[in-house]
Amino acid sequence: MNKQILKSLVFTTLLAFFTGSMNAQDTPEIDAKEQSNWKLESIYSLNVTQSSFTNWSAGGRNNISGLAFINAFAEWSKDDLKWSNYLTAGLGGIKYFDSPLEKTDDVLDVQSTFSYGLKDPWYLSLLGGFKTQFVEGFANPGDSLFASKFMSPGYVNVSLGIEYIPNDNLKIMLSPLSGKFTIVQNQRLADAGAFGVEPAEYNALGDVVTPGKNFRAEMGAYFRFIYKKEILKNINLRSRLELFTNYLEEPKNIDVNAEVIFDFKINKWFSAMLHFNLIYDDDIMITDRHGNVGPRTQFKQVLGVGISYRMANFQEKE
């Protein structure tokens, strides 16, 4: 697991900065006529911290940590048609010198939306989304069995609805016809009923009679809110809120996925990032420190300072 995290982190980092350098230096300028239908933006970030302690009375553990992140956006528009694409990929880890490498962040999130203009600013939109992680994750340091891995879980979302797009900074979509599909490829996790799939059936001896399902389909309603803005000079806000309710099973229990990212630009290369992420899914069972099992509100906060590089074929609006 440790080597896998390290290799994936190195790969993500090299991919981000190799792509950024190649695009920044080697890509010829696109003729304005050819690029007018495309709006492209990508942000590559690398944050690294290192701490060491010698005869430090307050205590501490020597460590090194890193986080590589890619945010990319591509939108094609012509007449009444829009095709918007978002990519978020990130991987981070921390290595205490006296213990194995631990994962601190891991996400792969892709969304693509095709929209047809009805009457400005309203659109009929078809959205497709995919979300998973790169490497194995463990509930506690030192665990021998992983609690998640690539495509365990994997989420696919397909939604058809109405979208409100008054400007480039705001998009609001409501879909009364949405499908959420959960994939748990690992059979051990599927047998345990992880991430809401149907668990395995066992006999009195503890043998598996019917294996757990690797796939779960839900039909319901979906809501998405996207907002981005330069709130102050060199301080950019990016936010996304997603809600989903299952028509057939406990429709009052709403799945929530929310994130807020603040980017603080220091200069062309250096920046700071503050990232908040909140998730609630009634189908995901979490064990607390007292041993109680049930759905919980998940919260993640990341603060990083490091190298950041932005590429775009348009100027940010003041």
Average pLDDT (9-13) is 48
Question: Which pLDDT score, from 0 to 100, does residue 133 have?
Answer: 96
CA dihedral 270, 63, 299, 243 (to 10 degrees): 60
pLDDT category of residue 174 using cuts at 50, 70 and 90:
very high
Please tell me the distance from the alpha carbon of residue 240 to that of residue 53, in angstroms, as a whole number.
39
If you write DSSP's letter for every residue of 170-239 in order, what string do you get? EEEEEEEEEEEEEE---HHHHHTTGGGPPPPEE-TTS-EEEPPPSEEEEEEEEEEEEEEEEEETTEEEEE
DSSP state for residue 6 in the 8-state scheme: H
At 208 the pLDDT is 94
In angstroms, the CA 284 to CA 144 distance is: 21
Residues 22-31, buried b or exposed e (16+ Cβ, 10 A)?
A: eeeeeeeeee
Residue pLDDT, tens place only, 199-218: 999 999 999 999 999 999 99
Interval 83-100 mean pLDDT: 92
* Alpha-carbon gap, residue 316 to 169, rounded angstroms: 11
**Residue 13, pLDDT score:** 46
Per-residue confidence band for 97, with pLDDT thresholds at 50, 70 and 90: confident
- pTM: predicted TM-score of the whole model, two decimal places: 0.85
Give me the pLDDT at residue 142, please.
80
Range 60-85 average pLDDT:
93
Is the pLDDT at 251 greater than 90, yes or no?
yes
Mean pLDDT confidence for 226-254? 94
3-state secondary structure of 32: helix
Cis peptide before 121 (omega within 30 of 0): yes
Residue 316: predicted pLDDT: 64
Distance CA 17, CA 309 (A): 9
Q: Where are the domains of the chain?
A: 2-29+62-200+208-312
Using an 8 Å Cβ cutoff, are 70 and 88 in contact? yes
In angstroms, rounded to a whole number, what is the distance separating the alpha carbons of residues 172 and 317?
20
